[in-house]
Amino acid sequence: MKNIPEINHCSPNPEAWWCSQCKAHTTFQYTTLPDRDSRGNPEVTVLHNCGACNFTMFRAAESISHRKIGGGLGVLMILAGVVLSIVEDNEFQSSSILGICFTASGIFFASFILMSVYLRKWSSWSSTQKSRSEESLQDEALEHPFQPEYVNNRAFTKWAEQFLSSEEVEQLHEKYGGEG
């Protein structure tokens, strides 16, 4: 808040990228990786790394839905494995079906657990922050070891757009980047 008083990076926002090491919505660098979705269509995975400590960041809202999907698919795979192995008469086939389904469910449950670990840090931080007053959040933001600084690049714009409307971000650029 020292450099950018418009944005409080210590005020919780589940839609914004968050660093669990810095416990703040720090600014970030992002890397895009070419990827494929489950149907094999090309898409882009975007990794966000904290601008202060380089740790991988996450968004609570997104992780909550990933966790639901992971847990749901894990249960589904166990059910499918059990049903299919009962239906299949061939004993060898039925045990290999069971093996495949249980392995898949293991992977889904692992992602469920990983998301839960991430989200536990988020929930404890966000509930503490929510119980505090606007002033005390501002004080914390001012004393936070990491202070966002204005940079005229895409990553900064993307960071600011998480908290402000596009017009307000435009105004930020005029205010801080005007001299350039």
Q: Least distance (Å) from Zn ion to the CB of residue 69?
A: 26
Q: Least distance (Å) from Zn ion to the CB of residue 21?
A: 4
Residue type, 124: S
Secondary structure letter of residue 170 according to DSSP: H
Residues that bind Zn ion (CB under 5 A): 19, 21-22, 50, 52-53, 55
The torsion angle over the Cα atoms of residues 116, 118, 123 and 128, rounded to 10 degrees, is: 150
Half-sphere exposure of 127 (CA within 13 A, CB side): 5
Residue number with CB closer to Zn ion (97 or 140): 140
Secondary structure letter of residue 153 according to DSSP: S
Residue number with CB closer to Zn ion (35 or 149): 149
Q: Least distance (Å) from Zn ion to the CB of residue 42?
A: 30
Q: Least distance (Å) from Zn ion to the CB of residue 65?
A: 23
Residue number with CB closer to Zn ion (55 or 109): 55
Q: State the distance between the two ends of the chain, measured CA to CA, in whole angstroms.
A: 22
Residue number with CB closer to Zn ion (101 or 144): 144
CA pair distance 22, 53, nearest whole angstrom: 7
